[in-house]
Chains A and B, each alone.
Chain A
Amino acid sequence: MAKLTFKTDNCKGCGLCVDACPKNILQLSPDKINKKGHHPAELTDEAACIGCASCAIMCPDCVIKVER
């Protein structure tokens, strides 16, 4: 099973990871706001993650760590 870890406070809410995910299981949190003042990216369905790292590859800020 894949495991994602987010450095939430480094996230700038750009959404590039959201668009890159082939499983459509990322979103910008509608209710959380991080230290930078952005809505950070979060996983909506942990079990569906295939650990492909597409999200992490497109993230300009190295927010996402992917383990499999």
Chain B
Amino acid sequence: MVVFDKPHSLNEMSMHYCPGCTHGIIHRLVAEVMDELGIEGRTIGVAPVGCSVMAYNYFNCDMIEAAHGRAPAVATGVKRADPENHVVFTYQGDGDLASIGMAETVHAAARNENITVIFVNNAIYGMTGGQMAPTSLPGQVTQTSPYGRDVNHCGYPIKVCEMLSQLDGPEYLERVTVNSVKAVRNAKKAIKKAFQNQLDGKGFSLVEVVSSCPTNWGLTPQQALKWIDEKMIPYYPLGVYKDRSAGEDK
């Protein structure tokens, strides 16, 4: 009996991500959920600008590549064109979603747009070589904060789930991570719920996945997973920030 294999919703192509980058795990979880819900044939994904710009190469469902940060706006159009049949998700990094695309993110959430958003927070602009992101931690060394992020000069990181939870619009907001077997299992549950909510017509569902960028953090893949526990999670606590149907509000 097969207990684990590549999900059908991912194709055979080898992904371009750096060794040990958790983008790959998150792609797989989205694909596993598509398989389990039987929605591969009617799902349309919207890829961002960032390291996952070529996500369209790896998923077996239809994919669109949006201009930087505009994935929720593109997803809105695709969803509204055929709300009964289209299942629509965006896959976005923190630079894409919380910097250049913040307006699209906030308004899609405020409208309770019936889409699923997979938000990969690795506290850095990975693709462009490791510049400071809106989510980089206070004191974090990046290419553009070589002495560490100085909050007096650059301000404070944006906590996307906490911020969006102040809106009446969104249905579901949860922050998870993928730095251990247990965490990956939990992340999958959240992603599945975010897709199921869309199928049930419940509205805007965002899963923030605290992810690693070993290359630009200057760490080995193993050290990067530890760094998530030691540095990222204290600043970005895991949990459900909104689950309207369940009556939960953090």
A residues near B (Cβ < 8 Å) are: 9-10, 12-16, 19-20, 36, 38, 51, 53-54, 56-62, 64-68
What are the 3 closest A-B residue pairs judged by CB atoms, nearest first? A60-B24, A14-B20, A12-B19
Decide: A60 and B20 in contact? CB cutoff 8 A: yes
Given A16-B221, A16-B222, CB of A61 within 8 Å of CB of B3: no
A12, B20: Cβ atoms closer than 8 Å: yes
Complex formed: what's the CA distance from A62 to B19 in Å? 12
Looking at B19, B21, B180, B184, the one whose CB has the most chain A CB atoms below 10 A away is B19
16 extra interface residue pairs, beta carbon distance < 8 Å, beyond A36-B14, A38-B19, A66-B4: A9-B14, A14-B19, A15-B220, A16-B221, A16-B225, A19-B225, A20-B180, A51-B3, A53-B4, A58-B181, A60-B28, A62-B6, A64-B4, A65-B5, A66-B2, A66-B3
Could you tell me if A13 and B19 are in contact, using CB atoms closer than 8 angstroms? Answer: yes
- Quick one: which of A9, A15, A54, A62 contacts B221, CB cutoff 8 A? A15
Question: What distance in Å separates the Cβ of B5 from its nearest Cβ neighbour in chain A?
Answer: 5
Measured CA separation A12–B6 after assembly (Å): 16
Among candidates A10, A13, A60, residue contacting B21 with C-beta atoms closer than 8 Å: A60
Q: Mark B169-191, 1 if CB is under 8 A from A, else 0.
A: 00000000000110011000000
Answer yes or no: B194 CB below 8 A from chain A CBs.
no
Query: Which residues of A are found within 8 Å of B10, using beta-carbon distances?
Result: 62
Q: A57-B181, A61-B14 are in contact. Are A16 and B3 (CB under 8 A)?
A: no
* Distance A62 CA – B32 CA, assembled complex (angstroms): 12
Q: Is B235 an interface residue (CB 8 A)?
A: no
When A56-B4, A65-B2, A65-B5 are in contact, do A10 and B20 touch as well, CB less than 8 Å? no
A20 with B20: CB separation less than 8 A: no
Partner of B185, one of A15, A20, A57, A68: A57
Query: In the complex, which residues of chain A have a beta carbon less than 8 angstroms from the beta carbon of B180?
Result: 20, 58
Is B23's CB within 8 Å of the partner chain A? yes
Q: How far is the CA of A53 from the CA of B15 in the complex (A)?
A: 21
**Chain A residues within 8 Å of B221, by CB:** 14-16
A27 CA / B28 CA spacing, docked (Å):
23
Q: Does B25 contact A (CB under 8 A)?
A: yes
Can you list 30 residue pairs at the A/B interface with Cβ under 8 Å?
A9-B14, A10-B14, A12-B18, A12-B19, A12-B20, A13-B19, A15-B20, A15-B220, A15-B221, A16-B221, A16-B222, A16-B225, A19-B222, A20-B180, A53-B3, A56-B4, A58-B25, A58-B184, A59-B24, A59-B25, A60-B17, A60-B20, A60-B24, A61-B24, A62-B28, A65-B2, A67-B1, A67-B3, A68-B1, A68-B3
B76 within 8 Å of A by Cβ?
no
The residues of A that contact B4 with a CB separation of less than 8 Å are: 53, 56-57, 64-66
> Are B181 and A54 in contact, CB atoms less than 8 angstroms apart?
yes
Is B22 at the interface (CB under 8 A from chain A)? yes
* Chain A residues within 8 Å of B28, by CB: 60, 62
A67→B18 CA distance, assembly (Å): 27
